[in-house]
Structure 1
Amino acid sequence: MTNTPDDSAEKYQFITGIALPDSLLVRDATQFVRDTESQLLFNHSSRVFCFASLAGQRLKKTFDPELLYVGAMFHDLGLTRDFSTANERFEVDGANAARDFLKQRNIAQQDVDDVWTAIALHTTPGIPQHMHPVVALVTAGVELDVLGIGLADVHPESLDEILQRFPRTEQFKEDIISAFFDGIKHKPVTTFGNIKADVLADKDPAFKRINFCDIIRASSWDG
């Protein structure tokens, strides 16, 4: 789905406490995601960046806002038809898309790796917060926008500004669950071991979870 082009830097520079460089990388990332994602996912990803930025300031983490922006904006790209593969987790599909995008723009390999990891691990609770700030903050932003974790820490003024610029739909909770389902229903095996199996179980009565213990018992080992 293609959306109307937008001046990304203008959107962010007037939100209290959030700074986003008016750079070519940012503008390219914004247009890339706008041309690929639905308005629902674009607004969600934009809020993730905002909440991640505020979390970084609150936690006194040093981070590159451009890299954080790419990580936040690309984190759900693997749910889209253009970037969804048949066999990879959707998180890996999004991470690979971000990696290709950054490498084409000659971004340093370590920075590329940090963004890749941030996207690949954003649905793996308990690990990202111990890693590089970009990795930790992308997950923090996702958890706040989807799960409400840390919502009480956001200043009401900042929250109002973020929601005015990137509004949630009236039924966002159900809409985002449906978006997750639509993006992964064709490859249920990739949800093994991560929280997206819950989405399939909720939406598809015929879904059968893969059981880790069953895999162990069915292995080719004798004992």
Structure 2
Amino acid sequence: MALIDIFDVNIPDSQLAREVTQLIRDTESQLLFSHSTRVYFWGALTGKRKGLVYDPELLYAASMFHDIGLTSKYRESQLRFEVDGANAARDFLRGHGIAETDLEKVWNAIALHTTPGIPEHMHAEIALLQAGAGMDVAGRGFEQFTQEQRDVVTAAYPRDPDFAHKMIDEFYQGLKHRPATTFGTFNDDFLAFKDPGFKRTDLCSIILCSHWEHG
């Protein structure tokens, strides 16, 4: 794997990182693979800009595994896709002798990457994964990167011209068989956008119809 230097940020040059890259390349679509790699660079560049101390290998593993739960491998799963990804990363890293404290960082980073308002207060790897994912999918923090940084990252790992619609479809395909898992997250937006018949769960109705009210 040829390593690309992007403003002094590199994919870790380790056997572990190479195995992670190969596994994700073999499992995910090109769209998700490129997205996940860009997420690492956006996250790492954010960490560099903010002067955060983080483990590049852990951040890389978290970035590459963060969307694996959307792939066809998990089409029968009834867990949240984030939990599928977190579990897969933890199992992989545990098999490579990574310390339990580091496994917890990676697990939390992936499991919480779609949860607003919490990751930024946790370990740097957790905060940076969410920041990188938010930048690549929704342009969150876009203006904090220079035009040159954006150009170099997307030249190395191209962003599909129709990325927005294709990414929404990746989410839909990964979630349509487990709609209940989207309750309480913004993931139900993908189902509502793609499926006119999708009905969101309403917490107020759940409370008002609970056994406490009608027991």
TM-score normalised by the shorter chain: which range applies?
over 0.9
Query: Which residue of structure 2 lines up, in the alignment, with residue 3 of structure 1?
Result: none
1:204 to 189, 195, 212: 195
Q: TM-score, normalised by structure 2?
A: 0.96
% identical equivalent positions: 50
Question: How many pairs were matched up?
Answer: 214
Give the Cα–Cα distance (whole angstroms) in 2 for the partners of residues 108 and 162 of structure 1.
31
The offset of 1:158, in angstroms, is 2.3
Give the Cα–Cα distance (whole angstroms) in 2 for the partners of residues 155 and 146 of structure 1.
17
Structure whose residues are more often helix by fraction: 2
Post-superposition CA distance 1:44-86 (Å, at most 9, x none): 0000000000000111110000000000010000001113543
Q: TM-score, normalised by structure 1?
A: 0.93
1:187 to 172, 178, 190: 178
Q: Give secondary structure in 2 for the equivalent of 1:207.
A: coil
Amino acid aligned to 2:15: L
Runs of 4 or more consecutive aligned structure 1 residues displaced over 4 Å after TM superposition? none
The offset of 1:222, in angstroms, is 4.4
Query: Which residue of structure 2 lines up, in the alignment, with residue 130 of structure 1?
Result: 121
1:165 to 138, 144, 156: 156
The offset of 1:23, in angstroms, is 0.2
Distance 1:138 1:84, change over 3 A: farther
The offset of 1:128, in angstroms, is 0.5
Query: Which residue of structure 2 lines up, in the alignment, with residue 44 of structure 1?
Result: 35
1:66 to 54, 57, 68: 57
Q: Give secondary structure in 1 for the equivalent of 2:117.
A: coil
Give the Cα–Cα distance (whole angstroms) in 2 for the partners of residues 204 and 83 of structure 1.
20
Give the Cα–Cα distance (whole angstroms) in 1 for the partners of residues 19 and 139 of structure 2.
29
Amino acid aligned to 1:192: F
Query: Which residue of structure 2 lines up, in the alignment, with residue 19 of structure 1?
Result: 10
The offset of 1:198, in angstroms, is 0.5
The range that moved more, 104-113 or 154-163, is 154-163
The range that moved more, 71-80 or 155-164, is 155-164
Give the Cα–Cα distance (whole angstroms) in 1 for the partners of residues 40 and 200 of structure 2.
32
Post-superposition CA distance 1:1-26 (Å, at most 9, x none): xxxxxx1xx243x2223133210110
Say if 2:88 is the partner of 1:97: yes
Query: Which residue of structure 1 lines up, in the alignment, with residue 136 of structure 2?
Result: 145
| RMSD of equivalent CA atoms | 1.2
Amino acid aligned to 1:90: F
